[in-house]
Structure 1
Amino acid sequence: MNLQDVADELVGKLSRSVVINDLHFTPLAASAQGDEIDEIRAASLLKRATPPEIRAYLESININNLLNPTTVDLAHLGGQERLAVPIRDEAGPLAILWLITGNLPPLTAEQFRAIDAAVVLIRDQLSAGTKDVRRARAAVELELLADDVNVRRDAFTRAVNEGWLYRGDRTSVFAVTFDTTVSELDRVAFASRVTGRRHGSLAFLGERDTRMLFAGSADIDGTLATLTSEGLGGSHSIRSIGTARVQANEDDLAPAADRARSAASILDRVPKLGRHADVSELGTWLLLTQLNANISNLALFSPAAHYLWTQGDEQQIETIERYLDAGTSVRVACELLHVHRTTLYYRLDNMPPIIKEALEDGVSRSTLHLALKLARLMSEPIHAERVQQ
């Protein structure tokens, strides 16, 4: 997103005009003009400069050195009240984000979060601390998942040579999925935070199929903590994080990125698995995703699973699934189900005959287990059929 993109999205969230001025009071970007625009803003936008008398007043109150968002009353100059939001980095002031607040409803907490996200993006684009080496790295990051395999390989080789990525399992790819309510502005701001100065070890690879992709250290637990804390810090709900390590024989990041996306996709479809999983933990689920499965196919694979899933109750499904997860160990199954042995035996004894027969045969039992996992993966269409029956 460039500065104009930031301004355009912010005006949609705030329902008011937005202007980003440099330290010389020249507009760098401006939103579509709303009904609340006053003559001062109109003149500034038309002439691409702040009127001299307004500039003199702003200089007199040392506006460029603000440390925090500040309300500025321009009524005595024929203008409306404004909120001046300073954009700063470690080196000092960079710009001012201006919002008209006079005669408008107060900004909400959600709108202030949108402003915070915009400040991060504007700062990163204008920051004097963005050295040439960081610009060069950003260019390499954009090519790590390029369509051209040779471009991808060259970018990966350069990242390895520069020491911020490694070949083999010392590098992992992280696929992050947000709730659909999280806007593009918020997602880009999140990427900027997790790849910023505090977390320089992470590289942002871009967004694919609504999933944000990052690459970095194979310290998966530490990186997960970073991603989760930054998501919570921005009040954005992360739905899933799928991870995958780069394999020793891979010359670029695309295969690992595909595996990480697959892991995240499975987590989205099977919430019981939790919010994070490495693809290496999901072998059975990956196998099931390769099946061209539907209701009729499930009945062919395992009539017992189809019967249980479409006509059994939730307790029966949970009991059989956990019992099979436990390798038919009564002790382990009881721990998973949080029930006494007597309760488990009672439930098993009262299963429909088709289920009991499948449990008695080794192959049928294994197929029942896999078919139930497939049913979890297909839960939406299958549950839709259950409702209709």
Structure 2
Amino acid sequence: MADLTHTLDTLAGLIRRPVALDDARMIPIASTPHHGLIDSSRMQLLLGRPAAPHVRTRLLRDQRINEALHPQRIAPFDGLELGRVYVPVRDRHSTLVGHVWVIDPDATFTGDRLRSFGRTVGNLLAEPAADHARRTGDLGAGTRPEPFKPDTPYRLAVARAVPTGVIDPAAAGQQGFGAALADALSAVAPGLRVSAEIRSDGDVVLTLAGRADALERHRLGPALTRAVAGLGPDTLPAYLVPRLAVSPRCLPEEPESPSVDALRDLLTVSEQRADSPAVRFADDVPAYELLGELRRSLGGQDLQPPSEVRTLLANDRGLALARTVKAFLDTGGNHKRTAESLNVHRGTLYYRLDQASELTGLSLHDGVARLRLHLGLTFAELRGEL
């Protein structure tokens, strides 16, 4: 599997696009980190599932991909909403051993470039894909795990190995972290199917799919902790501290998938706070879903706190006031609960809130001003600035 993953990374680097590999039965084997647009078929792949039956039927019957000898373009259709380039992988005997997929919605991957890529796929992938086919064929009937049903719940998690006190040049210490973490988690949580995608900046996006009970946080949290603890120094040097942010539990038919960028924001908070837990669940962050929705509506743009919040973040005094205001707004404006949570006298709370209003020019008695402050302070916290 390591050879296949390395080869796919090489192919993706040559064309600067995500690349996915299925076996001859159209069961997902591996893929490179995904970026850009996504459709339902690619989401199935990220969850470790084969394409939907009607998609497979159309590809086999209409596109005749099992008979293809050369790269071809697959036009969009229901279930495969983004156009793709398909490349058959055949061994030296011309036996089909795999399928390579490249999302190409703008149909710009054409001509000599596509033909050259097809030859490169044959040169680099034919032998390792054939080896994989032989190994899986030796397992015997009925020993290969069945794909999860379409309604199988899942969570996404983002893992990051954070250097402590040293610089990790070119993320040298993180090589192999993602695959090793996925393998370790699979070993300690047999009820889960785990796949890992490694982003160019070193972050690892894990897809955790399986039984509902295996995804309950009282089971998943300890499993993640054990998986991290089981990583040896060859995989995770002592100067790297692993942190994970885990999405709420989701179902594939839900219209929006969890926001990976919002999970990365949560990791940024953990990275800057020494007392943060190694595993943080987005369920504990009330604004997580809102942040994800806003990111999607803005096309993935970064979210910046407004100028009034920036004023609070400018110095230590302002930061103390900002934390007080956020705690107050998190309770829905309940003075008693806020004072208790901050362990301060209620008179001290009133004074700090007045100071914050004076500094920002925003009244906490105004609903729009409250919303502006609450969102801005939440963004600041998720960016690690608060």
TM-score (norm 2): 0.50
- Counterparts of 1:87-102 in structure 2 under 5 Å? none
- Counterparts of 1:210-229 in structure 2 under 5 Å? 210-217=203-210, 218=212, 219-221=215-217, 222-229=219-226
Q: Residue in 2 aligned with 1:193?
A: 184
Equivalent-residue separation in structure 2 for 1:136 and 1:264 (angstroms): 34
Which amino acid in 2 is paired with 1:207? E
Distance 1:260 1:294, change over 3 A: closer
Equivalent-residue separation in structure 1 for 2:281 and 2:318 (angstroms): 28
Equivalent-residue separation in structure 1 for 2:249 and 2:303 (angstroms): 31
Q: Residue in 2 aligned with 1:34?
A: none
Q: Residue in 1 aligned with 2:228?
A: 231
SS, match of residue 173 in structure 1:
strand
- Counterparts of 1:103-252 in structure 2 under 5 Å? 139-140=27-28, 142=30, 150=41, 153=44, 155=50, 157=52, 165-168=148-151, 170-180=152-162, 182-196=173-187, 198-209=188-199, 210-217=203-210, 218=212, 219-221=215-217, 222-234=219-231, 237-247=241-251, 249=253
| TM superposition outliers: structure 1 runs of 4+ over 6 Å | 3-6, 135-138, 143-148
Q: CA deviation at 1:298?
A: 1.8
Counterpart pick for 2:292 among 286, 293, 296? 286
Q: CA deviation at 1:319?
A: 0.9
Equivalent-residue separation in structure 1 for 2:43 and 2:295 (angstroms): 27
Which amino acid in 2 is paired with 1:306? R
Mapped contact 2:331–2:337 kept (Cα < 8 A): yes
Equivalent-residue separation in structure 2 for 1:329 and 1:179 (angstroms): 38
Structure 1, unaligned runs of 5 or more: 7-134, 384-389
Mapped contact 2:197–2:206 kept (Cα < 8 A): yes
Equivalent-residue separation in structure 1 for 2:185 and 2:195 (angstroms): 12
Equivalent-residue separation in structure 2 for 1:357 and 1:5 (angstroms): 53
Equivalent-residue separation in structure 1 for 2:42 and 2:366 (angstroms): 53
Structure 2, unaligned runs of 5 or more: 7-22, 54-143, 164-172
Deviation per CA, 1:206-228, whole angstroms, max 9, x where unpaired?
31422141322332311232121
Mapped contact 1:322–1:333 kept (Cα < 8 A): yes
Q: Which is helix-richer, 1 or 2?
A: 1
Counterpart pick for 1:353 among 343, 354, 358? 358
Q: CA deviation at 1:316?
A: 1.0
Equivalent-residue separation in structure 2 for 1:178 and 1:137 (angstroms): 34
Mapped contact 2:244–2:267 kept (Cα < 8 A): yes
The alignment status of 1:344 with 2:349, answered yes or no, reads yes
Equivalent-residue separation in structure 2 for 1:316 and 1:335 (angstroms): 16
Equivalent-residue separation in structure 1 for 2:25 and 2:344 (angstroms): 55
Q: Residue in 2 aligned with 1:298?
A: 306
Distance 1:136 1:204, change over 3 A: farther
Deviation per CA, 1:209-259, whole angstroms, max 9, x where unpaired?
2214132233231123212111022265331222243436359xxx64xx2
TM-score (norm 1): 0.50
How many residue pairs match? The answer is 239
Mapped contact 1:244–1:278 kept (Cα < 8 A): yes
- Counterparts of 1:34-73 in structure 2 under 5 Å? none
Mapped contact 1:144–1:152 kept (Cα < 8 A): no
SS, match of residue 178 in structure 1:
strand
Equivalent-residue separation in structure 2 for 1:229 and 1:379 (angstroms): 27
Distance 1:336 1:354, change over 3 A: same
Q: CA deviation at 1:293?
A: 5.9
CA RMSD after TM alignment: 4.2
Mapped contact 2:357–2:363 kept (Cα < 8 A): no
Mapped contact 1:319–1:347 kept (Cα < 8 A): yes
Distance 1:244 1:220, change over 3 A: same
Deviation per CA, 1:153-194, whole angstroms, max 9, x where unpaired?
571558xx96552333x4213323131555323432222222
SS, match of residue 251 in structure 2:
coil
Deviation per CA, 1:62-107, whole angstroms, max 9, x where unpaired?
xxxxxxxxxxxxxxxxxxxxxxxxxxxxxxxxxxxxxxxxxxxxxx
Equivalent-residue separation in structure 2 for 1:213 and 1:180 (angstroms): 17
* The 10-residue stretch of structure 1 (366-375 or 320-329) with the greater mean CA deviation from structure 2: 366-375
Whose Rg is larger? 1
